Amino acid sequence: MHSLHRAISALIETVSRDVVLHHYQQLSVSQIENKAPGDLVTFADKESERRLSAGLAAILPGASIVGEEAVEADPALIERVNDSDAWIIDPIDGTHNYAHGHPPFGIIIALIEAGETVAGWLYDPLAKRMCHAVRGGGAFINGTPVLAKESGETLPVAALSTLFIEEPRRSAINAAAEGRLRLVDIPRCAAEQYPRLVLGQNDVTLFERTLPWDHAAGVLFLAEAGGKAARLDGTRYLPGDRRTGMIAAASPRLWDEAAAILSV
């Protein structure tokens, strides 16, 4: 797995330099499109996915490739996350931020075997921060082992992503959190949110939309660091699971505390 990590890291860093950063703050209006209201895609997303897909196919021939933009074009491709070997790609996570010319944004790749995430990479191109994890092998930031830590604040620091939660549940969640969690802004970027939980910047986060390219790598990274991410009922998150709703926390203790508050 060490040689695989070197190859994937080199691929991500190359695409980051040659595509993502090359086009950052340089996109024309014609290079930014709406997939859906509030859901953007750029020329750089598509080019990054093309380059990453080609590189991953060379590294592990025969593995299925499930890219966010490819699934947008052909939704049936998402079924391949349950193949014996599959790569999941988010070519630019945080596209809304990227398209508007500000951080955070990142590249996320996960390796899936028979529906289970076995390795994941989350890369911040601006900070050059590589988070990666191997199932049963630990979590690392720029090659250094890392363990998740709580913020230590009196009220747990919570970034609640309620963008895709409809009323009245959204208001009920905010009301339940009031006075029990200290709410902070979400980064609109899973490649940033999961490291914040591990690094002690956030204690808890709530996600409604849990697409595999956003979360497969991050859930593994958090778990291998000693944190916890699970469905609101406590069941495991799996990349091929189509359900919505997930709580992630810097520790199992904080997950239990957050679940008691947010499961409304």
Amino acid at 61: P
- Helices (DSSP H) in the chain: which residue ranges? 2-15, 21-23, 43-59, 68-73, 95-99, 169-177, 190-198, 212-224, 252-262
Task: Provide CATH code, domain 2-145.
Answer: 3.30.540.10
The model's confidence at residue 36, banded by pLDDT at 50, 70 and 90, is: confident
User: Which of 88, 123, 89, 119 is CA-nearest to residue 104?
Assistant: 123
Fold (CATH) for 157-262? D-Maltodextrin-Binding Protein; domain 2 (3.40.190)
Place of tokens 């913020």: 151
Give the start-to-end residue ranges of the domains of the chain: 2-145, 157-262
35 or 185, greater pLDDT: 185
Q: Is the pLDDT of residue 132 over 80?
A: yes
**pLDDT tier, 35 (very low <50, low <70, confident <90, very high otherwise):** confident
**Could you read off the pLDDT of 199-239 as tens digits, one per residue?**
999 999 999 999 999 999 999 999 999 999 999 999 999 99
Q: State how beta strands 246-249 and 204-207 pair.
A: antiparallel
β 157-160/204-207 pair status: parallel
- How does residue 264 score in pLDDT terms, banded at 50, 70 and 90? confident
Supply the pLDDT for residue 114: 95
Q: Taking every pair of C-alpha atoms in the chain, what is the biggest distance, in angstroms?
A: 52
CA dist 68 and 77 (Å) reads: 10
Q: Please report which confidence band the pLDDT of residue 17 belongs to, taking 50, 70 and 90 as the band edges.
A: very high
Are domains 2-145 and 157-262 of this chain identical in fold? no
Q: Which token pair is 172? A: 């009920």
Question: CA-CA distance, 235 to 15, in Å (whole number)?
Answer: 35
Under a CB-based contact definition with an 8 Å cutoff, are residues 104 and 94 in contact? yes
Average pLDDT, the chain: 96
Beta carbons of 70 and 77 less than 8 angstroms apart: yes
